[in-house]
Structures are given as structure tokens and as C-alpha cells.
Amino acid sequence: MLMKDYIDETLKFIESDEMRSYLHECIVQSDWDWRTHCAEIVSFAPASLERKIPILDLIATQTQKVRDNDYHDPAVFAKGTRIALKERYSNPPCTMFWLRDWCYHEEGCVFDDAFFTDFDAAIRFIHDQQIKNGEPDDWEYLSHSVDKYIPDEDGRLVEYCTWILNSTGEIWYFKYANSKYKPEDWQDLFFYGGDHLYIPVPFKPGDIITADCRPFARERHVLILEIGDHDCCGLQCLFIYPNGKMATASFKHNSFLRGSFLEGSHISGLYRATCYQGDLKSDEALLSSICNAIEANPALGSIIWKYINENKTYDKDDDNDYPGVTWKQLRNQFNLSEV
């Protein structure tokens, strides 16, 4: 039986074929500390904790520490993941579990909040609701959270930790509510805003990219303006607000989610990022015109980025307005074709 390779097993968590193929080439050809990056890819992935543990163990076994204070050590991640699973069973008397469901970070889209004295009872409730209600229209945007409350010395229930689950009840992410509950050398990166994955990408200015952070945010398209270094802000994109105005954002920070029904995501857009070649919806059609202009003049991406950031405005008294520029402004400034 052939031994599993930590690189191949890690990249299975990257759902985009385009990204997965490119990253494999980068890992083979570069001298980066891929131990750290692979540990992050697995730990932050939209996948069950049970699936992550053996691959984190594999990374730790097949690689060596570059530095003693490696904050993203796969062995420590694996230890934390096991603790996150153990917490469902380590409960003092009177422990309570609060189950909520979410769609676009709005609570209660399928059933009302429910309270349990056992974590597994909450999971059974999710499955029972699936059987009872069938598949909801917004199934792909459905997630759950379970908050654990334990009694303090005064008998008051206090929040202890939180699990984030997908629509079927798989545990994807976990965090402690208070630093006093965290074990020693805990890496508090299992529950985050989707912006801690700083890996290289195969894209170029002018590419229209599918930004898919479901179930925590709606799927949309953005346009790449600049490709800088492989750091957090090197990949700059243009995105469209719900009111039609345009702004720039760091793709690796998931900043394209700003201003839309309080959307956020535990998932980095990089896991599913891929070039989009199909027809765009009417509210995104202008991206095609900008794409064509940048393909004719690749330097235009950086120029557009600068123009938007120097000319963005918004009405502070209008809760539905956001800092950006209008399509009319951009079209007139750069003589773009009408959509």
C-alpha cells in the first residue's frame, strides 16, 4: 500500500480544480514553508473536523518545523481539533446547548431556536427537521451554530464555546467564548472570518472570478484588478454592492462581502475560486465590459483600482449607500462599452 502524500491529501480540501492544480505546481517548485500553508488549508477548510484530523497528523509527520514558535503548527492544530470534538462530551451538570440555524447570517430560516442538555440531541434534531421539512429552497445557504453554556460558581449559565455546522450537522469550525477556557498552546484559528489563507493564485488582471463562500454568503462574481505579492492584500478585485456601486477589495480578506445583508464567511473565497466564462446576471453584466478593456490593456486594472479609491463617495445618511463609484462614472472615465 502506497503511503499517502501530505501535499496531495491537503489539496483535496481545495475544491477549485484550477486552484488545486496551480497550488500543486507552486508547492513542487517553490521553497515556501508549505508545512504552515498546508496546515492552514486543512484547518480552515469547509469540511468536517473528523476529516481534518488525519491529514493534519500526516502533515506533522511528513514535514519538519522551520521554527520553534511556529504558530500554525499542524500538530497543534490536530490537537485543537481533537479538543473541539471532545468538548461535546465533556460537560458538567446543568450544561445547556443552544442550537440556531442561519441563512446569510440571518437567524431562524427553517426552525426556531432550540435548547438541549446533550450535543448529540441537537444533531438528531437537525436530522429530524430535515426529514420533517424536506429540503428547503435555501438549503445551500443553510448552516447551524451550537453554543455551549456551563454553570459558573454562582449557578449562572455562561457561554463556554461555539461550534459552526453545515446544513447536515457536520462540525466545521469551533471557538472558545473566553480565553480563560482555552487549553494551553491553543491556536484560536478554527473559527474566523475567512481571511487567513494567503496562498498564490493562477489568475491575472481582467479575470472574472466566481467568489463562492456558501453557505455563509451568496455566490457572486468579482473582477481581478491587480496581482501583487502573495501576501494578504496582493490580490485586488472589483466588486459590486447591492445598490450597483462598485468598490475595490482584497480577495484574500473576503472583503468583497462588505455591505450585503451583513454577510460574512468562515470560508475563504480561495477554496472555490475559479475563472468564470459564462453569461453574467444583469446586475453583474458590466464586469464583462471592464474585463474586455483590461484584456486589451492589462495596465488598466491598476489604473481603475486607483481611480475607484480616489473617487469613491457615499451618502452617510443613507443606510443603503456604500463607498464606491457608479457605473456611469467608470464608463465615462475609461470610455467603456455599454452593457
- This prediction has a pTM of 0.92
> Do strands 220-227 and 106-107 pair parallel, antiparallel, or not at all (unpaired)?
unpaired
Q: What's the gap between Cα 93 and its chain centre? A: 35
* CA distances to 68, 144, 293 from 199, in Å: 22, 28, 27
In the chain, count H helices and then E strands: 9, 11
Q: d(Cα 287, Cα 306) in Å, to the nearest integer?
A: 17
**CA 143 to CA 107: how far, in whole Å?**
10
Alpha-carbon span 217 to 100, nearest angstrom: 17
Tell me what pLDDT residue 233 has: 83
Q: Dihedral of the CA atoms 246, 321, 231, 46 (nearest 10)?
A: -100
Q: What is the dihedral of CA 36, 23, 19, 105, to 10 degrees?
A: 0
DSSP code, position 60: H
Alpha-carbon distance of 203 to 224, in angstroms, equals 8
Question: For residue 219, is it left (φ>0), alpha (ψ between -120 and 50) or beta?
Answer: beta
pLDDT of residue 95: 97
How far apart, in whole angstroms, are the C-alpha atoms of residue 28 and residue 17? 17
| Chain centroid, CA 194 distance in Å | 3
Residue 199's DSSP bridge partners are none
The predicted structure's pLDDT at residue 239: 96
Domain spans of the chain, in order of start = 6-86, 96-181, 208-334
pLDDT at 188: 67
Beta bridge partners of 324: 313
* Predicted local distance difference test score (pLDDT) of residue 2: 47
Backbone phi, then psi, for 284, in 5-degree steps?
A: -120, 0
The distance between the two most distant Cα atoms of the chain, rounded to a whole number of Å, is 69
305: buried, middle or exposed (CB in 10 Å: 19+, 13-18, 0-12)? middle
Burial class (CB in 10 A: 0-12, 13-18, 19+), 23: buried
C-alpha cell at 44: 480552515
SS3 111: coil
CA distance 119 to 162: 11
Mean pLDDT by 10 residues, the chain (339 residues): 79 97 88 86 95 96 78 88 94 96 78 92 91 70 94 94 94 92 77 76 96 93 89 89 92 84 81 95 95 96 97 87 93 90
The cell numbers describing 328, all together, are: 456611469
Collapsing DSSP states into helix, strand and coil, what is residue 248?
strand
